[in-house]
Amino acid sequence: MRQIISVIIGSCWLLASVAGAASSDPYKGDRVQFLKAYKALNENRHGDYIRLSKQLKGYPLYPYLEFWDMRGNLRHVSNEDIAAFIEKYQGDSISARMRQSWLYQLARQGDWKTFLEVYQDNQPITLQCYKLQGQIKTGQTKGLVDDALKLWLIGKSQVKNCDPVFKYLKDHDVITEELLWQRIRLAIHQGNPSLAVYLARGLSAEDRAWVELWRDARNRPVKTLDSKQLKKDVPQAREIILYSVRRIARSNADLAFEKWSQIKPRYQFSAAETGKLEKEMALSASWQRHPRAHEWLVAVPDAAVDAKLREWRIRTAVSIGDWPAVVKHTTELSPDEATREEWRYWRAMALDKTGQRAEALNDFSRLARERDYHGFLAADFMNWPYEMGNQPIEYDPASLKALAGQPGFIRAHELFRAELFIDARREWAWIIRNLSIEDLKLAAVLAEQWDWHDRAILTVARSKDYSDLNLRFPIDYKKEVRKIAQGYQLEPAHVYAVIRQESAFNKDARSPAGALGLMQLMPKTGRVTAKKHNIPLSSTSLLYQPDKNIMIGSAYLKQVMEEYDDNIVLASAAYNAGPHRVKRWLPEDEEKPATRWIAMVPFNETRDYIQRILAYMAIYDWRMEQPATPIKKYMPDILPNEAYKAYEK
């Protein structure tokens, strides 16, 4: 009898487990069938595709099969059937995507009447120009000129299919000499001198000569300043002179100021022109770490002072240790600028350095409550533990269940589970685009429960709620990270910080530059590093595999660390911006406190990167339930480049 009861209990437990598994993944069987149908469609096995897809009409991703099938044969599908598909799935991402594909097809066919009927706003530039072509072809020219000028009046060449539209503007005498000069200026200042010369064909021979000289000034600014054309004080000459001096200042601030001091008295430059150029020269000097940069920034006329100039006045004063100037400059910030944690930190430091200890401690104590790089530095100054302030997102389970049950979220989840990541991200972006703040938080919680960390991180960021550290700082791959980090004598928190900053835990991330996977390795870097450390890598596509990416990424990170004497600050800068840039930024002859060196990194992206890596390391210490290492311990003084292996001769 006991055996029978045991069997019954065991059977009930097994059935409950199976039922639980089924309810947690109710579409598992359909998903397998769906992927078979998807494979058959891609391999042009249409008979197999039809047979398999017939069984999936109730599956949430069946519309995607319809979409892919129809889009792949769009030339052979009637307009009525395409329109019916768009109407059937109106409001879904595949409806918008099908509309876009249809518009391209209609443009290729020259069916402009249907194109204009189907067209909706917010399309890519190519389709915008096709729309204007359609208006020209059908004589529907209302609003055409204004829309076309918006596309024409930019500083770069547009796509080829805009040419007929721009020809229309030219043929109808819309492009005036004044408009030509506007676009030429845009092209020059956006680094497209060849476009400027092309546009100048519509000007007189005399004006074309000015544009050609302006083009030459881009690469030969010093020589251009000696041109005979510039001897006469006319507007074109002044404009090219200002541009040439600005180009010189980009690489040689001393020479720029020398040339400017010689030229300025000979021409009638306006106060605005003078102020703008002197501001830009002073900023260039700052980015070159010129010893007179702060002096030149302070000398810029008040009328030319803006937020960037105020920022670099503080940075250069910090760099040279002019603490009274730091106090003065932080007082000159706008109310919004003054709330920024970075300026609060440097003001507190300057107050302390100038003997205003009580006010400094008061400012540091308030800042130390912030959970970021400068907040942690303030806590280090006070010798206080870090305040993480973790506040998990509160939500109503019924509301979360309702959100998860919406068709768009079901489709996104299924695409994610099917590892069709690009389509999954497109679906996700579509369904969250108009969500309220509260629903964005719910969506982030949902993505986190699905282990879709990058969507959770990016979605909660859109809600501007940064308090749920468990959601924002995942600890996936814990076993691999600990083991690999230990093997390369790296802090696990460092590896996690790089993964979090580089990819937000998106294992199939690919940057515009081609960097791959969790730690964003360039294929060449991956191959070379794998070979050097005897890590098998038969194909760079394997860099998308988390364990392989973490192994090779950690090996590369260790290489970079060794090049900089295990200095995390410099290794982070090199990982982000490249060793050649870091070499230019290092002090020439004396060491520099790391905090002050970081403040002078000229690239916002790299400066933010360094600061985030350090802050994320502290947060990951907390996430791994270990004492947070004060970030100041990772910040030894920065030495001249000869001190580092990376720059040994």
pLDDT in tens, 441-486: 999 999 999 999 999 999 999 999 999 999 999 999 999 999 999 9
Q: What is the mean pLDDT of the chain?
A: 94
Q: Are residues 44 and 103 in the same domain?
A: yes
- Of the residues 499, 531, 563, the one at which a domain ends: 563
pLDDT of residue 17: 34
Q: Are residues 47 and 139 in the same domain?
A: yes
Q: How far apart are the first and last CA of the chain?
A: 85
- Of the residues 544, 563, 582, the one at which a domain ends: 563
Token reading at 297: 């920034």
CATH number of the domain where residue 453 is located = 1.10.1240.20
Query: Looking at 280, 414, 448, 502, which residue is catalytic?
Result: 502
- Going by pLDDT thresholds of 50, 70 and 90, the confidence category of residue 439 is very high
Average pLDDT over residues 293-307: 98
Q: Are residues 453 and 479 in the same domain?
A: no
pLDDT in tens, 198-228: 999 999 999 999 999 999 999 999 999 999 9
The answer to whether 182 touches 155, Cβ cutoff 8 Å, is: no
Residue 643 has pLDDT above 80, yes or no: yes
Q: Are residues 40 and 130 in the same domain?
A: yes
| 173 dihedral zone (left: phi>0; alpha: psi -120 to 50; beta) | left
Q: Specify if 434 maps to a domain.
A: yes
Report the 10 Å Cβ neighbour count for 76: 8
Q: Are residues 461 and 479 in the same domain?
A: no
pTM of the model: 0.92
Q: Are residues 536 and 550 in the same domain?
A: yes
Q: Specify if 553 maps to a domain.
A: yes
Q: Which residue range forms the structural domain that includes residue 584?
A: 566-649
Q: Are residues 495 and 540 in the same domain?
A: yes
Average pLDDT over residues 34-41: 97
Residue 23 has pLDDT above 80, yes or no: no
Residues 6+ apart with CB under 8 A from 2: none
Residue 62 has pLDDT above 90, yes or no: yes
pLDDT in tens, 103-143: 999 999 999 999 999 999 999 999 999 999 999 999 999 99
Is 80 among the catalytic positions? no
By C-alpha distance, which of 266, 257, 246 is closest to 290? 257
Q: Are residues 73 and 124 in the same domain?
A: yes
Q: Are residues 81 and 57 in the same domain?
A: yes
Q: Specify if 485 maps to a domain.
A: yes
Q: Specify if 272 maps to a domain.
A: no
> Which three-class secondary structure state does DSSP give residue 486?
helix
CATH number of the domain where residue 641 is located = 1.10.530.10
pLDDT of residue 648: 72
Q: Specify if 228 maps to a domain.
A: no
Specify the number of domains making up the chain.
Answer: 4
Sign of CA dihedral 581, 583, 589, 595: positive
pLDDT of residue 15: 31
Please state which of the ranges 456-465, 504-513, 583-592 shows the lowest mean pLDDT.
583-592
pLDDT of residue 542: 96
Average pLDDT over residues 516-533: 96
- Of the residues 466, 499, 522, the one at which a domain ends: 466
pLDDT in tens, 146-195: 999 999 999 999 999 999 999 999 999 999 999 999 999 999 999 999 99
Q: Are residues 534 and 624 in the same domain?
A: no
